[in-house]
Amino acid sequence: MKYKIESFKKEYAKIEEELNSPEVFSDIEKVKILTRRRNDLQRIIEKHEEFFKYQSQFIENENIASSSDDEMAEMAREENQELVEKIKKAEEELTELLIPKDPVDEKDVLVEIRGGAGGDEAALFAGSLFRMYSHYAEKNGWKVRINDSSQGELGGFKEIIFEISGENVFSKMKHESGVHRVQRVPETEKQGRIHTSTVTVAVLPKAEEKDLIIRNEDLRIDTFASSGPGGQSVNTTNSAVRITHIPTGVMVSCQNQKSQHQNKDMAMDVLRSRLLAREKEEQDKKNSAARKGQIGSGDRSEKIRTYNFPQDRVTDHRIKKSWSNLNVVLGGEINEIIGSLKEEELRLRTEEQDKEE
């Protein structure tokens, strides 16, 4: 640990020197990269100092606790009970900071929610999940923008694609990809029978133009009139856009915006992100560490969570853990669930790093 911290301090000093260099200062992209790395190193160094401070206080209190002054000894023992928790927390946070970051963790995301088995009930639950993520984004100070959607006959969405932008969005949202299952009595069910429906969620890191090159000759762009629920035409101009990436067959359409130009831009955002996700999945398959460090299979067809209304319970099947207060969870209070998933990810990645070392 000491060796690592000393090397981090040297790297931090070197970056500070580079950032003050006129040659580097004129390169905006390099400044961004160096600033991000400097901030990461600063967090590691500060957390190590905090950890070391608590440890030193604990050792000092241990000596006082064995002294002949009963009052001082009791105070030292009480303070050490609190310090044990502080040391543990600081150590966990430091361990997390020392694990190499996934380079896409800081990216914004595109979330695609689609109704699966269950027809109208699946569409209604897709709407519930969209509201859950929207409220969660609001609590984190993130922004939500709908790119495209197709409404269900009774409400909700057959499909909705939206962007969430803010700080470290992908790092918190990435484990939401997969099949979400709901068990409840639908409003349309007259006999009170419990139905099971499914909704598929895909969380993609939002790609930027510099992330990958898409050649114009590899694209087929079609335009058509946008439609509303049931397929009825909602305008007479060909403002909706469908883009097909010919080499991969990936197809994206967007019709929610007023102009063809806006729909094309949003469709390109989605296409770029889907292609980047494909690239990342292929790379992860080749990388054993990424496979072993992920929670669940990483397959979007994997059933990851069940929302059971009769039992007022949410269960994440990957970590075999349940939570009550289902309506509160659907109101966006999913910090505890996401925190548990991040803890499991950290545990798996720490195990893998220990094996490599």
Any alpha helices (H) in 27-69, and if so which ranges?
Answer: 28-65
**CATH number assigned to the domain comprising residue 226:** 3.30.160.20
Judged by average pLDDT, the poorest of 83-87, 134-138, 291-295 is 291-295
- Residue 126 belongs to some domain of the structure: yes
Phi/psi of residue 16, each to 5°?
-55, -40
Q: Are residues 120 and 260 in the same domain?
A: no
**Region 321-349 average pLDDT:** 93
3-state secondary structure of 206: coil
Q: Half-sphere exposure of 29 toward its Cβ, with a 13 Å CA cutoff?
A: 1
How many CB atoms are closer than 10 A to CB 305? 19
pLDDT in the model for residue 47: 95
N- to C-terminal Cα separation, the chain: 13
- What are the tens digits of pLDDT across the range 222-260? 988 766 544 444 455 678 899 999 999 999 988 877 788
Whether 122 shows a pLDDT value over 90: the answer reads: yes
Residue 82 and residue 94: Cα distance in Å, rounded? 18
> Is 64:78 a contact under the CB 8 Å cutoff?
no
Q: Where are the alpha helices (DSSP H) in 140-226?
A: 169-173
Query: Do 313 and 260 reside in the same domain of the chain?
Result: no
Are residues 142 and 90 part of one domain?
no
Do 13 and 59 share a domain, yes or no? yes
Average pLDDT, the chain: 87
Residue 263 pLDDT > 60, yes or no?
yes
Burial class of 68 by CB neighbour count within 10 A (0 to 12, 13 to 18, 19+): exposed
In-domain check, residue 103: no
CA-based R_g, the chain, Å: 25
149 in a structural domain: yes
222 shares its domain with 248? yes
Based on the structure, what is the number of domains in the chain?
3
Report the pLDDT value the prediction gives residue 41, as an integer from 0 to 100: 94
Q: What is the mean pLDDT of residues 34-52?
A: 93
Q: Which residues contact 15 (CB under 8 A, 6 or more apart)?
A: 34, 37, 38, 41
Query: CB of 319 within 8 A of CB of 126?
Result: no
Let me know whether 85 and 7 are in one domain: yes
Choose one of 52, 69, 98: the last residue of a domain.
98
Sheet of 303-308, strand order: 143-151, 157-165, 109-115, 195-205, 178-184, 303-308, 313-316, 321-324
**What 8-state DSSP symbol labels residue 218?**
G
Task: Summarize pLDDT for 136-194 with one digit per residue, the tens.
Answer: 999 999 999 998 898 988 889 999 999 999 988 999 999 999 999 999 987 766 677 88
Query: Is residue 296's pLDDT more than 90?
Result: no
Q: Is 290 inside any structural domain?
A: no
pLDDT at position 231? 45
Note whether residue 123 is domain-resident. Answer: yes
Query: Tell me, what CATH number does 311's domain have?
Result: 3.30.70.1660
Q: Please give the pLDDT value at position 128.
A: 96
Indicate if 194 and 132 belong to the same structural domain: yes
Contact (Cβ atoms closer than 8 angstroms) between residue 120 and residue 226: no
Same domain? For 35 and 60 the reply is yes
> Which residues make Cβ contacts (< 8 Å) with residue 54, sequence separation at least 6?
83, 86, 87, 90
Q: Are residues 134 and 10 in the same domain?
A: no
Residue 292 pLDDT more than 60? no
In a domain, 62, yes or no: yes
Residue 288: inside a domain, yes or no? Answer: no
Helices 28-65/70-98 angle, 10° precision: 150
- Helix (H), strand (E) at residue 204: strand 195-205
CA 41 to CA 87: how far, in whole Å? 20
**Separation in Å, CA 127 to CA 199, 252, 303:** 10, 21, 19
The CA distances from residue 70 to 77, 84, 136, in Å, are 11, 21, 50
Name the more confident of 53 and 117: 53
Q: Would you say residue 287 has pLDDT above 70? A: no
CA distances from 210 to 34, 122, 206 (A): 18, 37, 12
The C-alpha torsion from 94 through 100 and 103 to 104, rounded to 10°, is -60
Please compute, for residue 160, the number of CA atoms within 13 A of its CA located in the half-sphere on the CB side: 25
Percent of the chain past pLDDT 90, that is, above it, reads 55
Last residue of a domain, one of 98, 127, 153: 98
Query: Last residue of some domain: 42, 76, 98?
Result: 98
Residue 94 burial (CB count, 10 A): 19
Task: Say yes or no: 54 and 93 in one domain.
Answer: yes
Give which of 348, 149, 137 is closest to 257, Cα–Cα.
149
pLDDT(125) > 50: yes
The verdict on residue 289 lying in a domain is no
Which pLDDT band, with edges at 50, 70 and 90, does 69 fall under? confident
Mean pLDDT in residue range 14-24: 89
- Position 89: which residue type? K
Residue 276's domain comprises 211-283
CB 266 within 8 A of CB 274: no
Are residues 310 and 186 both part of a single domain?
yes
Residue 142 DSSP one-character state? -
Q: In terms of domains, do 254 and 272 share one?
A: yes
Better-predicted residue by pLDDT, 260 or 111:
111
Highest mean pLDDT among 22-36, 41-55, 102-116, 233-247: 41-55
What global pTM score does this model have? 0.74
**What mean pLDDT is predicted for residues 46-56?**
95
